[in-house]
A and B are shown apart, each in its own frame.
Chain A
Amino acid sequence: MEKFVDLAGSPNPTRRLLLFGLASAYTASLIPWALAQEVTESDQSAFQTLSSILTGWRSLDAAQGKRLYAALVADDPGFPAAAKALLAMIEQRKTDPMQLQEVLDEEKSPLALVPWRIVTAWYMGIVGDGSKARCLAFETALNAEVVADVLKPPTYAYGAYGSWTSKPR
């Protein structure tokens, strides 16, 4: 089982040492600062800011953000520093989110997987790869929210029998 860090349940979430799991291959090979990091309010805040830029959503749910952040950190103790570094880079260079991945890939940046992980977490509700992937959000994942005025997430009833025959507005 994957371990999740429940920051929301902590009486003092400001400074809490995270030492969960082994560093992933990605962490070990690409992120030199892959050591246990301390999560602070400022880390969390940086993550929320970065998430807003990458997802294009101004007001992201804070509780969901904490869960996603905790899972990302559990997979990779170097994540807080990587997220901060990415945020700093975007702010410094005023990088357009649409150009970001191309820039990171071209520069062979060690941060290249970070936006992908963050956007996958928010939009799909999924953190981790392969057999370590797990779902943290479904009906509140952003890809459900984006189309919520027209579609229901699969398994949720669209409506009464036949309600799907009408032209979607």
Chain B
Amino acid sequence: MADRLSADFVVVGSGIIGSLAARKLALAGASVIILEAGPRVTLAELVARFRNSPRRSDWMSPYPSVPWAPHPIYQPEPNNHIVQAGAYPYAAEYIRQVGGTSWHWAAHAWRNLPNDFRIKSLYGVGVDWPFGYDDLEPFYQEAEEIMGVSGADNTGSPRQKPFPMEPVAEPYAMRRLRERLAPEYEVVSNTTARNSRPYDGRPACCGNNSCQPICPINAQYHGGLSADAAEAAGARLIANANVYKLEHDEKGNITAALYYDPDRASHRVTGKTFVVAANGIESPRLLLLSTSDKFPNGLANSSDMVGRNLMDHPSTSLTFDADEDVWLGRGPQSPSSINVMRDGPFRSEHAPYRLDFTNISRVDGATRALIAAGVYGSELGKRLRYSAAREMNVKNVLEVLPDPERRITLSSEKDEMGIPKPEARYSIDDYTRKGHERSQQDFQRIANLMGGSNLRFSKEGEFANNQHICGTLSMGNDPRTSVCDQWGRAHDHENLFLAGTAVLPTSSTCNSTENGLAVALRSVAHVLEQQGASTSATGISKS
């Protein structure tokens, strides 16, 4: 064989978490191969695709699905990559591409609140994590220093060291919200992986207001940068390598990853230790696909927990017209939140939530709406200016509890590569619904305080999805109810580690990436410690 593919560590998935896990392993001196199903795409290509897209409000439009590594697409036509089999459709989006889905995130990099780790003990719902906030705190810091996180201290998550950067300068619209909602609501700056000053060779934000789907200047951190960093640290990244099976030996240790190239030729990569970090749907899919005589239900699945406890953050929202010009669209897209409903005794009764204010320009959506309403002539320009200046939007970000019945399985349908598609069973339960109901009074009050008119609540019964896929490879101390231990090691396989948001046991009220990354960095530190390697370096130059 011309090219023998073998390494100390084989990482499946080159997203922000897989790549930064790989980078940390490589910096410690290990040989690492990263296998990424999707293609390499450059920042310039993505910006051009966005500008040339006829669907500028569809964040997936610059990220088309490719036949050799399909991912879910809903517009203009759904490709049905995820087969829906549940009470409520789970319209998840993710990107199979070098760098993964955080190419088009809003860069929210929240830490959990300390109580998020103990909701079973405190509130009698969900599960407790196998470790606490203090155990994860140094790895939150490590993640924040790598990504370059800016934030303020008034968000309820205590810290040992300061944020790498001060909060990004507050857009005028958010200032008005903060001023007019005080003292009833404290509007706080979001904790984001967005530069408020030049950091690690990347510039400060210039307000391009396209954080989703693409920051054109890399002022916002993303997984493409993680993949670059992993390669710079010595990891070998193979793109267009769609892993469809993991093999094991008679002891149950993983021995190889099999992947298809775009021509469906199969390749085999061997390694000593395997890390599966292919996102909350593709990771369980891979484990379920990897059946054998010894493991007829797939790998890491003696508990039958692989793919279960699927969680995300559903949102409902209110759009209204303020009684003053605020002009959303100046500065970054997602700058401010209200955090008061993220924790409290009410969590025994209903979902907690963060209230999130958008600063996304209203121009695209308002134009469509006005034209659809038959507004033509000079009135169109006038009304467009009014909407662009006055429209505001607040949404909730609701916690979903782990429930084994919400799950990812394999479908009888196959994708373009002949691989069974993922199938989703999802639902919105009363706990989440009650949280939505509670938030309506906040929505109304916020609109009132802003002098709001023309209130447009999102359609009752419809929940937008936030693409924070988690829970499907939950970690825990009990091998009967979890897939991996607190270090991400599969209960069933000594040399198989799971990384990514899938391992998070609960969803809390914050975007899952920072949690998933901090947990993965903690796992890697543990692996390296066990192997006697150095674990301290973050490799970030302080500027």
Contacts and interface: CB of A to CB of B under 8 A. Distances in A.
Interface in B328-372: 329-331, 361, 363-364, 367-368, 371-372
B453 interface: no
B169 A162 contact: yes
Interface stretch (A11-19, A32-40, A96-104): A96-104
B374 A101 contact: yes
Interface string A131-151: 101110011001110110011
Contacts of B77: 130-131
A26 interface: no
Contact of B207 (A115, A119, A147, A157): A157
Interface stretch (B1-9, B50-58, B287-295, B534-542): B50-58
B207 A158 contact: yes
Interface string A85-103: 0000000000011101110
Interface in B441-461: none
A134 B54 contact: yes
A116 B369 CA distance: 12
A147 B214 CA distance: 22
Interface stretch (B127-135, B180-188, B376-384): B376-384
Contact of B377 (A98, A105, A128, A154): A98
A165 B331 CA distance: 8
Nearest to A162: B169
Interface string B210-242: 100010110000000000000000000000000
Range, interface on chain B: 35 or more
A120 interface: yes
B172 interface: yes
A94 to B, nearest CB: 13
Nearest to A146: B381
A160 B206 contact: yes
A163 interface: yes
A56 B380 contact: yes
A123 interface: yes
A111 interface: no
B54 A128 contact: yes
B184 to A, nearest CB: 23
B378 A56 contact: yes
Contacts of B368: 124
A168 B172 contact: yes
A98 B54 contact: no
A54 interface: yes
Interface in A30-52: none
B385 interface: yes
Contacts of A147: 363, 384-385, 388
A168 to B, nearest CB: 4
Interface string B38-63: 00000000010011111110000000
A154 B56 contact: yes
Interface in B488-516: none
A154 B169 contact: no
Contacts of A135: 51-54
Contacts of B374: 98, 100-102, 105, 115-116
Nearest to A144: B363
A166 interface: yes
A54 B217 CA distance: 37
B210 A154 contact: yes
Given A133-B55, A154-B361, A162-B169, A55 B380 contact: yes
Nearest to B373: A101
B364 A164 contact: no
A157 B55 CA distance: 20
Contacts of A105: 374
User: In this complex, which of A100, A164, A165 has the most chain B Cβ atoms within 10 angstroms of its Cβ?
Assistant: A164
Contact of A158 (B50, B51, B206): B206
A141 to B, nearest CB: 8
B172 A165 contact: yes
A164 B172 contact: yes
Contacts of A124: 54, 364, 367-368, 371
A54 B169 contact: no
A38 B410 CA distance: 55
A138 B52 contact: yes
Contact of B381 (A53, A142, A163): A142
A133 B51 CA distance: 14
Nearest to B46: A155
Contacts of A159: 206-207
B47 A143 contact: no
Contacts of B204: 161
Interface string B169-182: 11110010000000
A158 B379 contact: no
A98 B379 contact: yes
A165 B205 CA distance: 13
A3 interface: no
A72 interface: no
B376 A157 contact: no
A165 B170 contact: yes
Nearest to A139: B51
B210 A155 contact: yes
B384 A146 contact: yes
Contact of B371 (A96, A100, A123): A123
A161 B389 contact: no
Given A115-B376, A164-B172, A143 B54 contact: no
Contacts of A138: 51-52
A97 B379 CA distance: 9
A155 B301 CA distance: 44
Nearest to B51: A138
B122 interface: no
B494 to A, nearest CB: 47
Nearest to A160: B206
Given A97-B376, A102-B374, A123-B380, A157 B206 contact: yes
A146 B325 contact: no
Contact of B208 (A115, A142, A154): A154
Given A55-B381, A128-B54, A168-B389, 7 more contacts: A55-B377, A96-B377, A98-B379, A101-B376, A124-B367, A126-B54, A159-B206
What are the nearest 5 A-B pairs in CB distance? A97-B377, A101-B374, A158-B207, A56-B378, A164-B331
8 contacts: A115-B376, A126-B54, A133-B55, A133-B76, A143-B367, A147-B363, A151-B330, A165-B171
Interface of B: 47, 50-56, 76-77, 169-172, 175, 196-197, 204-210, 214, 216-217, 325-327, 329-331, 361, 363-364, 367-368, 371-372, 374-381, 384-385, 388-389
